[in-house]
A and B are shown apart, each in its own frame.
Chain A
Amino acid sequence: MDKSVAVSRNDIGLESPAGRKLPVGLRQVVAFVLILLALVALWEGYKLLGAVTAGSIPMPVRPDDRSMPHIWSIVGALFKPARRGGEDILLIILLRSAVFTWREALAGFTMGSVVGFALGVVFVRSRLLERGLMPYVVASQTVPLLAIAPMVVIWGSRLDWPAWTAVAIISAYLTFFPVTINTLRGLRSPDPTAVELMQSYAASEWQVLWKLRLPAALPYIFTALKISATASVIGAIVGELPSGIPDGLGRALLTFSYYYVSGPEKLYASIIISALLGIVFVVIVMLVERMVVPAQRRLAE
């Protein structure tokens, strides 16, 4: 992703000569930090504006500490015990929850990716099945997750599954769709002449799929997996709410929003950790992509 961007910039001559520029990874970190600083400045600037004008201009969000705690109180909350005399700081508690939620998300991500990939392969082989099933696949994504989650949880508890499996299924439900769509698109991406060449060598359908279509589809599939990685985390968090699972980020978010006025910075801190979990998951998928897909064939994003 980053490399292709760098290459394209070089092509149009935006970059200084190659020897003098910072390494790609470092530049990305610098950009990330700069944007982070800009966001912090925006947040605190808004609060400052509110303090200076003292309510004389209407503002969409109240700039007070209850609606928008200072960034340093949010960060500070992470390094304080979650409660008076508590043993662990909030960061440790949230990281533990994040690991728990990630396990559910990973299970869902795996299930969803496998199902999504399988559907893509089936659809590329059969136009009939594609036309018949695709509307349902699309419809499945327009039904609100909030309506589906409690149903899955109730079925799961009727069937005596461990609680986390229902969460993983909800997470898989959010995951499979981008994989199906992109797998299908990727498998169709080879040039028709290439397919014809394979056929002229008397290659079987299976061989065309394995040797031509699949390698061509990989960049598309990995693009979908990156979307699915974040979606699986969202699915896991939403799935935890009706499951009554106490160990994940869902519970932390629920508790801190329930007691919002008692510690708004704690809710923001949990949101930041949830976002970080999504980022880490995407980075992991990117690292796997680097191992599997050659640099020149990765899709630019």
Chain B
Amino acid sequence: MKVAGKLVIGLALIAVLVAACGGAATTQAPAATQAPAATSALAALIPITLQLQWVTQSQFAGYYAAVDQGFYKAEGLDVTIKEGAVDIVPQQVLASGQADFAVSWVPKALVSREEGAKIVDIGQVFQRSGTLEVSWKDSGITSPADWKGKKVGTWGYGNEFELYAAMSAAGLDTQKDVTIIQQPFDMSLLLNREVDAAEAMTYNEYAQVLEQTDPKTGKLYQPGDLTVIDFNKVGTAMLQDAVWAQEDWLADAKNQDIAVRFLRATFKGWIFCRDSFEACVDIVLKNGPTLGKGHMTWQLNEINKLIWPSANGIGVMDKALWDQTISVATSQKVIKAAPDANAYRTDLAEKAAADLAAAGVDVKGTSYTPRVVEITPGGE
């Protein structure tokens, strides 16, 4: 009896701990539990969920800026941003109805579409590819043909298509002429010279190299120490970040209106990040407390370069680039056949951009000039 009594006391202690902490966990839990309080004040807002591809970083600055600056609210939308995560595929989240919009690369989303996910590219935010293949200058690699006989790194998981297409275009056999190395998501293989070329995004891994100290000089590596092969120039670039929605959902005119409002606010967010650069970086940093300021500043500048200028207006598809993406995707057997004409639509983005242009906003960024961002050690 005595022991049992003590056990009861012990269990009660644990229960109290759980109650205290569990209760706190509930109040801390994001979105879901905070929603009731928020909706009571903003009853008229339409709740919208946006699924990102990865965790908070400047790559998604425009969406965060649109939330922070109240652009979505002004359109009558209460937008919740769901960050991406390991093993989360945004277009599948979208297709299963757990998000209203998703950000995804075009080829990856087209694979899902071919597998039966009826999703549509409604806003092609990035007008060019941010993928590079980076080498040390002393390796003498200046064009895809130079990869012959070398160790070439790629992340795989759908990030290798532009690279393989460039190899094919240069007459290289990806099986025989090069050694393909599976690369982790950082640049240590290149830094340790364990590969001759490494895949890098302009806005991320490329800067991670430049943020390192060269042991020979004791200073940071310089762009002159590296050679880059830019898939936009090679002609095998594929379209990347775009806003996707469900085809069936868009069949309703009411939802088309919601989509236009969403795009209008999103575009305003991106335009804010172009015109109020520092303020936009601060918004990103506010949402990601462990991110480096130097690195995020570099990243936003590179992201802006992928968006601006947008010849047809931000988010409006460039048909030539779409066709190039499809041609690379089919030749690399990423998708079996070219998708039907409903895979993308420009009318919603055109309307959103036209509305903004009518209000005197520069939606093309014709005179956009990138900033010169100073590299900081470790991107801090």
Chain B residues near A215: list those with CB within 8 A.
3-4
- Provide the bound-state CA to CA distance between A158 and B135, in Å: 44
Which one, A153, A162, A211, contacts B1 given CB within 8 A?
Answer: A211
Known: A211-B4, A242-B87. A288 touches B14 (CB 8 A): yes
Is B26 located at the chain interface by the 8 A CB criterion?
Answer: yes
Known: A66-B191, A83-B380. A106 touches B212 (CB 8 A): no
A84 lies within 8 A of B25 (CB): no
Q: Does B24 belong to the interface (CB within 8 Å)? A: yes
Restricting to A19-42, which residues have a CB under 8 Å from any CB of B? none
A162 in contact with B290 (CB, 8 Å): no
Known: A84-B380, A288-B14. A164 touches B293 (CB 8 A): no
| A251 contacts the other chain (CB 8 A) | yes
Residues on A with C-beta less than 8 A from B76 are none
Q: List the one stretch of B163-171, B181-189, B245-253, B312-320 in contact with chain A.
A: B181-189
* B17 interface contact, C-beta 8 A: yes
- A161-B32, A254-B55, A260-B188 are contacts. A103–B22 as well, Cβ < 8 Å? yes
Minimum CB distance partner of A81 in chain B: B380
Interface size class of A (residues with CB under 8 A): 35 or more
B294 close to A84 (CB less than 8 A): yes
Q: With A163-B32, A244-B84, A288-B10 in contact, do A251 and B290 touch (Cβ < 8 Å)?
A: yes
Is residue A252 within 8 Å, beta carbon to beta carbon, of the partner chain?
yes
> Is B292 part of the binding interface, using a Cβ–Cβ cutoff of 8 Å?
yes
CA distance A257 to B86 in the complex (A): 13
Q: How far is the CA of A260 from the CA of B285 in the complex (A)?
A: 18
* Residue among A158, A164, A218, A256 with the highest chain B CB neighbour number at 10 A: A164
The listed residue (A104, A246, A252, A291) touching B30 by CB distance below 8 A is A246
Chain B positions within 8 Å of A142 at CB level: none
Task: Select one of B7, B10, B24, B88 contacting A103, CB under 8 A.
Answer: B24
CB pair B55–A157 under 8 Å, yes or no, is: no
Contact of A260 among B14, B96, B186 (CB under 8 A): B186
Chain B 167-206 per-residue mask, 1 if CB under 8 angstroms from chain A, else 0? 0000000000000000001111001100000000000000
| Contact partner, B88, options A82, A150, A158, A214, Cβ 8 Å | A150
A164 to B, closest residue via Cβ: B29
A210 within 8 A of B: yes
Give 30 A-B contacts (CB < 8 Å), ordered by A residue. A83-B293, A103-B21, A106-B21, A107-B21, A107-B25, A150-B87, A161-B32, A162-B33, A163-B31, A211-B4, A214-B3, A214-B7, A241-B85, A242-B88, A244-B82, A244-B88, A245-B30, A246-B56, A246-B83, A254-B86, A258-B185, A258-B186, A259-B186, A261-B188, A261-B211, A262-B212, A263-B380, A291-B10, A292-B6, A294-B3
The 10 closest A-B pairs by CB, nearest first: A244-B85, A103-B25, A215-B3, A292-B10, A241-B86, A162-B29, A150-B87, A162-B32, A244-B83, A84-B380
